[in-house]
Structure 1
Amino acid sequence: MAEEAVCSICLELLTEPVTIGCGHNFCRACITRYCEDAVRGSGNAIPCPSCRAEFQIGSFRLNTQLRNLVEKIKEQSLKPGKEKMATQCLEHEEKLKLFCEEDGEAICLICMQSQAHRGHTVLPIQEAANDYQVGDTTDLREPIAQTHTYLSGEIP
């Protein structure tokens, strides 16, 4: 259920969810920013970030039902027992014991057998945590600063 409340642009819970013509939902700020970036290269018709169906700039509508659902999900995550939710599969309510390398996510034993993960490289979650653990990040400051400069258009 929670995955339906995630924006496919920012990958966070939807904030001010809006629906575009094809039925996909995004955060108002995310789809607005997407439209601003896309309009530089085209006219008013822009492809949906999810399915590529064209929609008109500004044609999105607030999705109040989804907004209410997101609020309930947020309330649930603030209640005592949040730790339990973070270690449990939202779909199967099983303990997350595995890590799917292809999808980069923790999964349960049932998920591993599903079509979505069949044939993927799966590790015990603790082993994956050790493999993906980041050590000292001080040596990453310079590349991160360079990337930020490049992305902001301030290329030297």
Structure 2
Amino acid sequence: MASTAIAGDLEDDAICSVCLGYLTEPVTIACGHNFCRACITQYSEGKGTGTPLTCPQCRARFQKGEFKPNTQLNNIVQKIKQLGLKPGKGQKKDLCERHEERLKLFCEDDGETICLVCEKSRHHKSHTVVPIEEAAQDYKEKLQGALDPLRKELEEALVLTSKEKKKTTEWQRKVKNKRETIVGEFNKLHTLLREEEQLLLQRLEEEERETLQRLQENVTKLSQQSSSLQQLITEIEEKCQQPVVKLLTDVKSALSRYVSDVHCSYILGTGSAVMCAQRS
């Protein structure tokens, strides 16, 4: 089984990926892949002038005419041919499931690979059939053509994305600056309001202190006046209780002194004087 696998690998190396047959006059291109000289020459000439040449297998670029004969590989191919193996027997995946023949053609109508026997069948007889490599090359070119607008659209999307990111960054910067401005202005207002608050509280405190001091002084004066008046009332009441002779003794002098004391009370406070006058 191991020898069969090795034989299959050797057979794969001996097949040209262009014609799918055994290599004839195998040549090697720059990327290291091997092709029939006639196949790669025809492939190269089929490209238009100015179109870069790419390897049919790996798409690596190579220059026209830069082929190197591979004598050793040619000898291996000849030995494989002597074994009487048909090309592709080691690659079951490249064989037609119905006829076990090499898949060399592509049916455009059904979109599937077929063999030469399938082409002659009733089903594919009226269909458009082309060589498999030609079809692969055509569809590769179509796929490549589809990539260009997609790449262009991707490029435009990336440009728009970049612009939107810049707009986002710019907007965030503007919002940040405006936020800092608002906070700064309100901090100033808060500072002014705190200063105004402190000033008003200070003025109120001074007014409170002065008013309380004045009121306290008034209370003290009124207390003194009340005490004086109470003493005067007591003296007058005692005078009135004295016997007639004693009451009349020096009564004018006493009365004059009492009037003088009432006048002093009037000077200490108008309200007190009024009170004294009412009591008199």
1:42 and 2:50 correspond: yes
1:72 and 2:41 correspond: no
- The 5 Å alignment of 1:14-93 reads 14-38=23-47, 40-43=48-51, 45-77=52-84, 90=90
Shift of 1:76: 1.1
- The 5 Å alignment of 1:62-141 reads 62-77=69-84, 90=90, 103-105=93-95, 128-129=97-98, 137=121, 141=125
Runs of 4+ in 1 over 2 A off after TM superposition: 103-106, 136-144
Residues 3 and 143 of structure 1: CA distance in aligned 2, closer, same or farther (over 3 Å): same
| Higher strand residue share | 1
What does residue 10 of structure 1 align with?
Answer: 19
1:25-46 per-position Cα deviation (integer Å, ceiling 9, x unaligned): 00001000100112x1535x41
| Higher helix residue share | 2
Give the secondary structure class of the aligned counterpart of 1:29. helix
Q: In structure 2, how many angstroms separate the alpha carbons of the residues matched to 1:34 and 1:48?
A: 10
Q: In structure 2, how many angstroms separate the alpha carbons of the residues matched to 1:8 and 1:139?
A: 27
Residues 129 and 143 of structure 1: CA distance in aligned 2, closer, same or farther (over 3 Å): closer
Give the secondary structure class of the aligned counterpart of 1:18. strand
Once the two structures are aligned, what percentage of the paired residues are identical?
Answer: 41
1:88-131 per-position Cα deviation (integer Å, ceiling 9, x unaligned): x759xxxxxxx6xxx3448xxxxxxxxxxxxxxxxxxxxx538x
Q: In structure 2, how many angstroms separate the alpha carbons of the residues matched to 1:42 and 1:36?
A: 12
Q: In structure 2, how many angstroms separate the alpha carbons of the residues matched to 1:58 and 1:27?
A: 13
What does residue 251 of structure 2 align with?
Answer: none
Structure with greater Cα Rg: 2
TM-score (norm 1): 0.54
Q: In structure 1, how many angstroms separate the alpha carbons of the residues matched to 2:37 and 2:18?
A: 11
Provide the aligned length of Structure 1 versus Structure 2. 105
Residues 25 and 41 of structure 1: CA distance in aligned 2, closer, same or farther (over 3 Å): same
Q: Which amino acid in the other structure matches residue 10 of structure 1?
A: C
Residues 147 and 54 of structure 1: CA distance in aligned 2, closer, same or farther (over 3 Å): closer
Q: In structure 1, how many angstroms separate the alpha carbons of the residues matched to 2:57 and 2:23?
A: 15
